[in-house]
Amino acid sequence: MSLKGYLLPAGMLAAGCAALFTGLLPWPAFQELAARTVPVLAFVVAMSLVTEMVDDAGLFRVVTERLAALGRGRVFLLWLLVVGLATVSTVFLSLDTTAVLVTPVVVLLAVHARIPPLPFALTTIWLANTASLLLPVSNLTNLLAQDRLNLSPAGFANLVWAPALVGILVPIGLLWLAFRKDLSGRYGPQPVHKARDKVLLYSASGVMVLLLPALVSGVPVQIPAMAAAAVLLVLFLWRRRSALRWTMVPWRPLMLTAGLFMVVEALHANGLTQALSGIAGSGEGLPALLQLAGLGAGAANAVNNLPAYLALEPAGDSPVRLAALLIGVNLGPLVTPWASLATLLWHERLRTLNVEIRWGGFAVAGLAAVVLTVPLAVAALWLTSGMP
């Protein structure tokens, strides 16, 4: 990893620290921010370690090989199975996991099957973003919203299930319409790779089987994530010590996120909330919810979904309004490459696989998806929330 890649994260963290030391971020506000966000960052680190080690154990490769077998040589069926994998990965393991780990395995699956890889690559990143609304663990923005709302995972899902369903089904329909010719036909048998260490593979699989329900059990998510990371670290120290490396810790996202938290909190302490209150609107009617979701989607594509959420969070002064904001910042980042960290990570993986993305076409297709998906998701939220 080059030093250049650390410039922005280090700069953002330095800016946050400068805001604290100069008093722009008051100490009491920083203490409240730390109490709220340290558990979230602990979860991010733990889940990054878990997914890296599970991937090294070979679980994701085994899953894709099973998908290739279940596809029975039909490209369309294989694509539907990839849709399922990307959705489940995003819902239970987060959008960044899908971008980093699912992308290379499904793209290589398409390449080996002599299928155009673009439909599989675009399916992965669209669903990494748009399927990230259902559970708190699906997206960092959801974890922040869950903390603000003080909801259990079940309560959170009950609030957003209808727009979350729209966020999955509408992009799938659009992708099929765009790539239906590429998704027809058949593919040949795929090679099966032998597991390097079956003990490690089966053990990692067992950890995941226990972890997934624990993440939605209502226990603070950082606890089962940290426990799973600890178990896997012990397993790797026993079976494959050489695979453990410091780069498994997500240093860049961690520094960037911590810095953003501090900078945006400093801005809130110095009038950002009042500045945005006029354009964020108020009320829980359909036009008001559309206004807030649209502002969230626009801000996410202009800067990034995390600072967009943090800046607009005070405008989400009710569960329904906060859910509308989540629709905008979760389902909206499909236009610009920097709109979500997941998209940047996805592009890094594609570059290593020599898969070219034309950002002009990406933006046009993403804009069409956002224009359809976000309003329909807001309408679904409004209809199921009983708002006037």
Of the candidates 161, 145, 155, 133, which has an alpha carbon nearest to the alpha carbon of residue 218? Answer: 155
Summarize pLDDT for 20-78 with one digit per residue, the tens: 999 999 999 999 889 888 888 888 889 889 988 988 898 888 887 888 888 888 999 99
230 confidence band (pLDDT: 50, 70, 90): very high
Q: What pLDDT, on the 0 to 100 scale, is given for residue 115?
A: 86
Summarize pLDDT for 120-138 with one digit per residue, the tens: 999 999 999 999 999 999 9
Looking at every residue in the chain, the average pLDDT score rounds to: 89
CB contact at 8 A, 301 and 368: no
Summarize pLDDT for 274-304 with one digit per residue, the tens: 777 778 888 999 999 999 999 999 999 988 8
Confidence check: pLDDT of 387 > 70? no
β-sheet bridge partners, residue 74 = 186
Of the candidates 67, 68, 55, 64, which has an alpha carbon nearest to the alpha carbon of residue 96? Answer: 55
Q: What pLDDT, on the 0 to 100 scale, is given for residue 321?
A: 96
Q: What pLDDT, on the 0 to 100 scale, is given for residue 1?
A: 46
**297 CB contacts (<8 Å, ≥6 apart)?**
328, 329, 331, 332, 333, 370, 374
CA distances from 80 to 99, 108, 169, 170 (A): 18, 16, 12, 14
φ, ψ at 256 (rounded to 5°) = -65, -45
Full-model pTM: 0.86
Using N-to-C axis directions, what is the helix angle for 198-215 and 222-239, rounded to 10°? 170
Q: What pLDDT, on the 0 to 100 scale, is given for residue 2?
A: 53
CA distances from 116 to 79, 113, 363 (A): 11, 9, 20
Residues in the chain: 388
**137 CB contacts (<8 Å, ≥6 apart)?**
43, 47, 92, 93, 94, 143, 153, 215, 216, 221
Q: Is 263 left (phi over 0), alpha (psi -120 to 50) or beta?
A: alpha
Using N-to-C axis directions, what is the helix angle for 359-385 and 319-331, rounded to 10°? 160
Confidence check: pLDDT of 108 > 70? yes
CB contact at 8 A, 340 and 300: yes
